[in-house]
Chain A
Amino acid sequence: MRPVITVKDLTKKYGSLRAVDGVSFAVYENEIFGIVGPNGAGKTTTVECLEGLRVPSSGSIRVLGLEPKADGYKLRQLIGIQLQEGKFPDRIKVKEALELFASFYSRSVPAGHLLEKVGLLDKADDYFDNLSGGQKQRLSIALALVNDPQVVFFDELTTGLDPQARRAMWGMVRSTREAGKTVILVTHFMEEAERLCDRVAIVDQGKIVALDTPANLIRSIDGGLRINFSVNDSGIAAQLESIEGCRLTASNRDITIQCADYRVVGEVIRILGENDCDFHDFTVSKPALEDVFLSITGKEIRE
């Protein structure tokens, strides 16, 4: 696979603040590359440097072989952009917005085709103002795809949307990739990154703290599985603790066990059964990307 984006030592300073601090990565053709991290981590600044909307303080960037600062207009013919919280004038009609943006590019996809793809065909004559939050984002996606771009940037595409609309957006991101495009997805929503991205860069305080596939990142952290349950008699904890490869924490009657593999789960249930111990609310969960962030940075990622 050839890289469509390469970034080396990208730094963006605002005064003494290093919003982006020595970031390097490559994005390969036709992957969905996630940039995740808390608000203010430098995600948007990073992609805006790639899009040529911001000028880096130092470092080098190549997108589709072009340098965003020097070849901005050429590059923007080839990429699609959806901005975080980006909106359009209240009184512009859906099809007018599409026609307007289509006029900017040397090649463009027919408006009807795009509207059908994002499910807005029956809204073509509606004002932007009258669209729902999800429909507004669909229009942003359509506008990002109007020039049939090779690389598409989605920045906080689903923030503020209800779960149903969010799922619809995920479908559109996947179909964008299936259409052969490379997707850069910026999000602070870990579940989204985990479900959609082929590879994820976790960003914190302007630096990439981890970069791999979601599965590898999750595997990389200790205590792969987490078992939670409640007991009436917490005396059982001492016996459970003797299971090999298990880390137990008990608070009152709630017991949490972290372990590497599923054999421990069987072992726990056997001990509980042998001791005739009453237990309830028994759950086994795999860690998520969210736990990876917590384990690497020691911080919770929250809106």
Chain B
Amino acid sequence: MMVFRQFIKLTSTELRLFWREPIALFFTFIFPVFFLFMTMEIFIPADAPKEIVINYVTPSLMVLIIASTAIYGVPMTIVSYRKIKFLKRLKGSPVTPIIIMGSFGLANFIATLLGIALLVALAMGVYGASLAGSPVSFLASFVLVFLSLAAIFLFIPAVARSERTAIAISQIIFFPMMFFSGVFIPLDRLPDWIRSYISPFLPVTYGVELLQRLWLGTPFDDLTREVFILLGVLCLGLVIAARTFRWE
């Protein structure tokens, strides 16, 4: 019972702190919406059928939000909490590491979900986006994409000692990842060599693939390859994090 209370309180406090962080708010709420309008109004050819394009754009921008949480939000929080010894202080109280990490994960998941709710509301309201597949398998896949990306990028706080290094690493990873994995530009418009030698090695690619195709109505059963790869990424991320994570 007490474990439950600790978990709820840590999660709600973390969410409050997220709410007070302008950069996190920008990447979660403003940037994806801005990108949605830029794409729909400027980037796509004027004669392209918007009601079709929107259903490709919406799921890929969901992955943008997940990736920014996974690559920026979580690593930065961990590095800064470690630096001020807040992580160590938490460890010095009767809270288990699983509660601490679980609550960070849940708070970031909720924040991501809120960002996506705003994006989807606008995509549906303004451009008539609609989910063709099953909502249950879409939601489950969304959770999987979140967990696997959040886990694999936990190597950033393991490598970076300072916030400055963490930002540098995140930036080096984030933008190429967004360009080469089908988030900013559809995969079929990328050069062949990128598609065959770079994209398949980026975990984000499988997140975009999975969510986009489920959104467009491909049955879950036809996407087992993506699901298994993401599960593999999740396990790999957790193993690396468990071995390299530093509390101080």
Asked if A106 lies at the interface with its beta carbon under 8 angstroms from chain B, I say: yes
What distance in Å separates the Cβ of B106 from its nearest Cβ neighbour in chain A?
A: 15
Size category, A interface: 20 to 34
Chain B contacts to A: CB under 8 angstroms: 2, 5-6, 8-10, 13, 16-17, 20-21, 80-81, 84-86, 88-89, 91-96
Measured between C-beta atoms, what is the minimum distance from A142 to chain B in Å? 13
Return B85 CB to nearest CB of chain A, in Å: 4
Known: A88-B86, A100-B13, A103-B8. 7 other contacts (CB 8 A): A73-B96, A83-B92, A89-B86, A92-B13, A92-B16, A100-B10, A105-B94
Contacts of B81 in A (CB 8 A): 89
- A105 and chain B: residue at smallest CB distance: B94
Residues of chain A lying within 8 A (CB to CB) of residue B89: 81, 83, 86, 88, 143
State the CA gap A101–B84 with chains docked (Å). Answer: 16
Please state if B84 and A87 are interface contacts (CB–CB under 8 Å).
Answer: yes
Which residue of B6, B20, B93 has the most chain A CB atoms within 10 A of its CB atom?
Answer: B93
Cβ of B6: which chain A residues have Cβ within 8 Å of it?
A: 103-104
What CA separation (Å) do A96 and B2 show in the bound complex?
A: 18
> Which residues 62-84 of A sit at the B interface, judged by CB distance below 8 A?
73-74, 76-77, 81, 83
B9 contacts across to A, CB distance below 8 A:
99-100, 103-104
The CA-CA distance from A53 to B97 in the complex, in Å, is 12
Decide: B17 and A53 in contact? CB cutoff 8 A.
no
Tell me, yes or no, whether A113 is within 8 Å of chain B by CB: no
- B96's closest neighbor in chain A, by CB? A73
Bound together, the chains give a CA A15 to CA B89 distance in angstroms of: 25
A111 to B4, CA, bound (A): 21
Alpha-carbon distance A76/B89, docked complex (angstroms): 11
Q: How far is the CB of A258 from chain B (nearest CB, A)?
A: 43
Query: Roughly how many angstroms separate A274 CA and B17 CA in the complex, as a whole number?
Result: 76
Which residues of A are found within 8 Å of B80, using beta-carbon distances? 89
Closest to B85 in A: A86
Q: Verify B17–A89 contact, CB threshold 8 A.
A: yes
Contact string, A186-220, partner B, CB cutoff 8 A, digits 1/0?
00000000000000000000000000000000000
A/B interface sample: 24 pairs, CB < 8 A: A53-B88, A73-B94, A77-B94, A81-B92, A81-B93, A83-B89, A87-B84, A87-B86, A88-B84, A89-B17, A89-B80, A89-B81, A89-B86, A91-B20, A92-B13, A92-B17, A99-B9, A100-B10, A103-B5, A103-B8, A104-B9, A104-B95, A105-B93, A106-B2
